[in-house]
Structure 1
Amino acid sequence: MTVIQRHLLHNHIIGPDEISKLQSVFDEICQRRKIDPGGEEAAGLARRIFALFQTGIHDPNKLRAMLDET
Protein backbone atom coordinates (compact mmCIF):
# COMPACT_ATOMS: atom_id res chain seq x y z
CA MET A 1 0.00 0.00 0.00
CA THR A 2 1.36 3.40 -0.95
CA VAL A 3 1.67 6.56 1.11
CA ILE A 4 -1.42 8.19 -0.36
CA GLN A 5 -3.52 5.04 0.01
CA ARG A 6 -2.58 4.67 3.68
CA HIS A 7 -3.37 8.32 4.34
CA LEU A 8 -6.74 8.22 2.60
CA LEU A 9 -7.92 4.88 3.91
CA HIS A 10 -6.83 5.80 7.43
CA ASN A 11 -9.27 8.69 7.41
CA HIS A 12 -12.17 6.50 6.14
CA ILE A 13 -13.41 9.31 3.93
CA ILE A 14 -13.22 8.14 0.35
CA GLY A 15 -13.75 4.99 -1.62
CA PRO A 16 -11.57 2.93 -3.94
CA ASP A 17 -12.48 4.87 -7.10
CA GLU A 18 -11.43 8.16 -5.58
CA ILE A 19 -8.27 6.62 -4.16
CA SER A 20 -7.40 5.34 -7.62
CA LYS A 21 -7.78 8.82 -9.12
CA LEU A 22 -5.73 10.46 -6.38
CA GLN A 23 -3.10 7.73 -6.62
CA SER A 24 -2.76 8.44 -10.33
CA VAL A 25 -2.18 12.14 -9.64
CA PHE A 26 0.31 11.28 -6.90
CA ASP A 27 2.23 8.81 -9.09
CA GLU A 28 2.40 11.19 -12.03
CA ILE A 29 3.69 14.09 -9.97
CA CYS A 30 6.23 11.90 -8.15
CA GLN A 31 7.53 10.63 -11.47
CA ARG A 32 7.63 14.07 -13.07
CA ARG A 33 9.37 15.70 -10.09
CA LYS A 34 11.57 12.66 -9.41
CA ILE A 35 10.19 12.30 -5.88
CA ASP A 36 10.80 9.06 -3.96
CA PRO A 37 7.24 7.74 -3.41
CA GLY A 38 8.21 6.46 0.03
CA GLY A 39 9.98 9.59 1.23
CA GLU A 40 9.03 12.62 3.30
CA GLU A 41 8.52 14.82 0.23
CA ALA A 42 6.02 12.27 -1.09
CA ALA A 43 4.21 12.23 2.24
CA GLY A 44 3.85 16.01 2.02
CA LEU A 45 2.58 15.70 -1.54
CA ALA A 46 0.01 13.12 -0.43
CA ARG A 47 -1.18 15.47 2.33
CA ARG A 48 -1.53 18.34 -0.17
CA ILE A 49 -3.48 16.16 -2.61
CA PHE A 50 -5.80 15.02 0.17
CA ALA A 51 -6.28 18.57 1.47
CA LEU A 52 -7.25 19.77 -2.00
CA PHE A 53 -9.63 16.83 -2.34
CA GLN A 54 -11.25 17.73 0.99
CA THR A 55 -11.90 21.26 -0.27
CA GLY A 56 -13.97 19.82 -3.12
CA ILE A 57 -11.39 19.56 -5.90
CA HIS A 58 -12.03 16.04 -7.16
CA ASP A 59 -11.10 16.34 -10.83
CA PRO A 60 -7.63 14.84 -11.43
CA ASN A 61 -6.77 17.49 -14.03
CA LYS A 62 -7.68 20.30 -11.64
CA LEU A 63 -5.66 18.66 -8.88
CA ARG A 64 -2.62 18.41 -11.16
CA ALA A 65 -3.00 22.03 -12.21
CA MET A 66 -3.26 23.22 -8.60
CA LEU A 67 -0.24 21.16 -7.55
CA ASP A 68 1.77 22.42 -10.52
CA GLU A 69 1.30 25.93 -9.15
CA THR A 70 3.13 25.00 -5.92
Structure 2
Amino acid sequence: MSPSRDFQTGLILPADIDFLQGVFNSTLEAKKLPCTSPEAEALAKRLFSLYQAGVRSPAELSALVA
Protein backbone atom coordinates (compact mmCIF):
# COMPACT_ATOMS: atom_id res chain seq x y z
CA MET A 1 0.00 0.00 0.00
CA SER A 2 1.30 3.39 -0.89
CA PRO A 3 1.01 6.14 1.70
CA SER A 4 -1.22 8.96 0.50
CA ARG A 5 -0.67 11.81 2.90
CA ASP A 6 -2.19 15.05 1.69
CA PHE A 7 0.84 17.32 1.89
CA GLN A 8 -1.15 20.45 1.10
CA THR A 9 -3.41 20.14 4.12
CA GLY A 10 -1.15 18.08 6.36
CA LEU A 11 -3.94 15.57 6.90
CA ILE A 12 -3.25 11.92 7.49
CA LEU A 13 -5.81 10.03 5.43
CA PRO A 14 -7.41 6.64 6.12
CA ALA A 15 -4.97 4.93 3.74
CA ASP A 16 -2.11 6.41 5.77
CA ILE A 17 -3.60 5.04 8.98
CA ASP A 18 -3.90 1.60 7.36
CA PHE A 19 -0.27 1.81 6.25
CA LEU A 20 0.93 2.79 9.73
CA GLN A 21 -1.28 0.15 11.34
CA GLY A 22 0.46 -2.52 9.27
CA VAL A 23 3.91 -1.35 10.36
CA PHE A 24 2.68 -1.08 13.95
CA ASN A 25 1.21 -4.61 13.95
CA SER A 26 4.34 -6.11 12.40
CA THR A 27 6.56 -4.40 14.94
CA LEU A 28 4.39 -5.50 17.86
CA GLU A 29 4.52 -9.07 16.60
CA ALA A 30 8.30 -8.96 16.12
CA LYS A 31 8.81 -7.54 19.61
CA LYS A 32 6.11 -9.78 21.13
CA LEU A 33 4.37 -6.79 22.72
CA PRO A 34 0.68 -6.56 23.58
CA CYS A 35 -1.08 -3.68 21.82
CA THR A 36 -2.20 -2.26 25.18
CA SER A 37 1.29 -1.95 26.65
CA PRO A 38 3.03 1.36 27.35
CA GLU A 39 5.71 0.27 24.87
CA ALA A 40 3.04 -0.10 22.16
CA GLU A 41 1.77 3.40 22.86
CA ALA A 42 5.31 4.78 22.60
CA LEU A 43 5.77 2.84 19.36
CA ALA A 44 2.60 4.33 17.86
CA LYS A 45 3.70 7.85 18.77
CA ARG A 46 7.14 7.24 17.26
CA LEU A 47 5.67 5.86 14.03
CA PHE A 48 3.41 8.90 13.61
CA SER A 49 6.29 11.22 14.33
CA LEU A 50 8.54 9.53 11.78
CA TYR A 51 5.73 9.48 9.22
CA GLN A 52 5.05 13.17 9.70
CA ALA A 53 8.79 13.80 9.29
CA GLY A 54 8.61 12.19 5.85
CA VAL A 55 9.62 8.56 6.39
CA ARG A 56 7.40 6.58 4.01
CA SER A 57 9.18 3.26 3.53
CA PRO A 58 7.79 0.41 5.63
CA ALA A 59 11.28 -1.09 5.86
CA GLU A 60 12.79 2.21 6.99
CA LEU A 61 10.03 2.81 9.53
CA SER A 62 10.47 -0.70 10.91
CA ALA A 63 14.22 -0.27 11.16
CA LEU A 64 13.91 3.07 12.94
CA VAL A 65 11.55 1.71 15.59
CA ALA A 66 13.25 -1.69 16.01
TM over 0.5: yes
Bigger RCO (CA 8 Å, 6+ sep): 1
Gaps of 5+ in 1: 1-11
The Cα offsets for residues 12-61 of structure 1, whole Å up to 9 and x where unpaired, read as: 83011111110000000101101110121100000000110011001212
Q: Are residues 1:15 and 2:13 paired? A: yes
Across the aligned residues of Structure 1 and Structure 2, the Cα RMSD in angstroms comes to: 1.4
Match of 1:65 in 2: 63
Q: Are residues 1:26 and 2:24 paired? A: yes
Larger Rg: 2
Instruction: Say which structure is richer in helix.
Output: 1
| Letter matched to residue 21 of structure 1 | F
Gaps of 5+ in 2: 1-9
Q: Segments of 4+ in structure 1 off by > 2 A? A: none
Identity level (%): 35
TM-score calculated relative to the size of structure 2: 0.77
Q: How many residues align?
A: 57
Q: In 1, Cα distance between the equivalents of 2:65 and 2:37?
A: 18
